[in-house]
Amino acid sequence: MKHTIAILVKDTPGVLARISSLFNRRQFNIESIAAGHSEKKGITRITIVAQGEAGILEQITKQLNKLVDVLKVRDLPREKSVERELALIKVQTKSTDQRTEIMQLVEAFRGHIIDIDKQALTIEITGTQEKINAKLKLLDSFGILEISRTGKIALYRGADRILN
Asked if residue 141 lies in contact with residue 39, where contact means CB atoms within 8 angstroms, the answer is no
In DSSP terms, which residues pair with 156 in a beta bridge?
Answer: 81
Task: State which residues form the domain around 17.
Answer: 2-75
Please tell me the distance from the alpha carbon of residue 63 to that of residue 31, in angstroms, as a whole number: 20
Q: Which of 75, 99, 131 is the last residue of a domain?
A: 75
Domain boundary among the residues 27, 49, 75 is at 75
Give how many domains the chain has, as a whole number: 2
24 and 89 housed in the same domain: no
Question: Residues in the chain, how many?
Answer: 164
Q: What is the pTM of this model?
A: 0.85
DSSP 3-state of 98: helix
Residues 61 and 88 in one domain: no
Radius of gyration of the chain (CA): 19
pLDDT in tens, 4-16: 999 999 999 999 9
Structure confidence at residue 106 as a pLDDT band (50, 70, 90): very high
Region for residue 107 given its phi and psi (left: phi exceeds 0; alpha: psi -120 to 50; beta: otherwise): alpha
Domain assignment present for 120: yes
